[in-house]
């Protein structure tokens, strides 16, 4: 974890150091291990790029054939990363939701395993919260801010924190701050409106392509867990994302636009103002989408 140069109350959990450059590897390692245990011959996955690169990598390690349904808005570096690891790409002209729909037609096929935001992935992604608490010597921070696309990271982080409390490893549960881009904010809206279901964002518009998920797969679980812990939510504009990314860069931390969303949200909510300790999860490497914005 890295300390902020600007605000001593902010810590950054920099997830770019995972093998394929995003936190997705935490879930893929469990998911593909399970696929291998089940003896599947082929995995299929819809992705805005990072999950695809991660699933491609772990599938290659496990000698499993892999196909990624990739919307054409995905940054080219992510497509190259996927291709380099020998996975097939099906280009999808449309939204992430369109790609998800296409993968579902594959599910009925024999020996095909659909990966994505499912139970095993969620179990793997809990490790980011375990690590944060461990790195703070089992003294939980006040708040953990994270970006929300499909809401798997959000649902898993909450679950991990509840479990740490349940087994007595921590005494208090940090509040989670769930941050979305204003151009794709279905979970933000549902939480603010005290609603249990999601109204799909039909045409997501954001430079934070890794969180351009119009109908978050894990929203139901995520919403109920966020409510249970009295978590908070915020939405950030494109300008706020760009500004946060620049500020992180000036501190030597290079992230893709989605990787700056938690920090943009934490700043907007003025977290840390009253001395709270805030951990921002910086979810993906800058080299995945290095455009200067």
Ligand X SMILES: *Cc1c(COP(=O)(O)O)cnc(C)c1O
- Judged by the rule CB under 6 A, the positions of this chain that interact with ligand X are 22, 24, 50, 147-154, 210-211, 256, 258-259, 283-284
Smallest distance from ligand X to CB 61, Å:
19
Smallest distance from ligand X to CB 152, Å:
3
Smallest distance from ligand X to CB 283, Å:
3
Smallest distance from ligand X to CB 137, Å:
27
Task: Please state whether 94 falls in left (phi above 0), alpha (psi between -120 and 50) or beta.
Answer: left
User: Whose Cβ is closer to ligand X: residue 96's or residue 113's?
Assistant: 96
User: Whose Cβ is closer to ligand X: residue 151's or residue 248's?
Assistant: 151
User: Whose Cβ is closer to ligand X: residue 269's or residue 274's?
Assistant: 269
Smallest distance from ligand X to CB 168, Å:
28
User: Whose Cβ is closer to ligand X: residue 260's or residue 269's?
Assistant: 260
Tokens of 241: 């994302």
**Which residue, judged by CB position, is nearest to ligand X in the bound state?**
284
User: Whose Cβ is closer to ligand X: residue 64's or residue 187's?
Assistant: 187
Smallest distance from ligand X to CB 266, Å:
15
User: Whose Cβ is closer to ligand X: residue 66's or residue 100's?
Assistant: 100
């Amino acid at each position: 974890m890295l300390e902020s140069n600007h605000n001593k109350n902010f810590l950054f959990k920099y997830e770019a150091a995972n093998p394929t450059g995003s936190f997705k590897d935490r879930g893929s390692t469990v998911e593909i291990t399970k696929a291998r245990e089940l003896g599947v011959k082929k995995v299929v996955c819809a992705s805005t790029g990072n999950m695809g690169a991660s699933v491609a990598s772990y599938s290659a390690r496990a000698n499993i054939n892999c196909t990624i349904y990739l919307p054409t808005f995905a940054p080219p570096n992510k497509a190259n990363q996927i291709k380099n690891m020998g996975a097939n790409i099906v280009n999808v002209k449309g939204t992430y939701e369109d790609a998800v729909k296409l993968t579902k037609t594959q599910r009925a096929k024999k020996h095909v395993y659909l990966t994505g935001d499912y139970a095993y992935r969620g179990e793997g992604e809990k490790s980011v919260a375990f690590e944060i608490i461990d790195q703070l010597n089992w003294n939980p921070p006040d708040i953990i801010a994270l970006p929300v696309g499909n809401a798997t990271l959000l649902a898993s982080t909450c679950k991990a924190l509840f479990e740490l409390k349940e087994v007595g490893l921590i005494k208090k549960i940090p509040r989670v701050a769930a941050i979305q881009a204003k151009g794709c904010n279905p979970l933000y809206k549902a939480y603010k409106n005290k609603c249990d279901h999601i109204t799909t964002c039909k045409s997501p518009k954001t430079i934070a392509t890794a969180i351009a998920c119009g109908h978050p797969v894990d929203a139901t679980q995520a919403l109920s867990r966020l409510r249970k812990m009295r978590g908070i939510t915020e939405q950030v504009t494109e300008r706020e994302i760009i500004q946060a990314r620049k500020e992180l860069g000036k501190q030597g931390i290079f992230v893709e636009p989605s990787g700056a969303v938690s920090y943009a949200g934490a700043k907007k909510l003025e977290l840390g103002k009253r001395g709270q300790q805030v951990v921002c999860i910086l979810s993906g490497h800058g080299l995945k989408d290095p455009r200067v914005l």
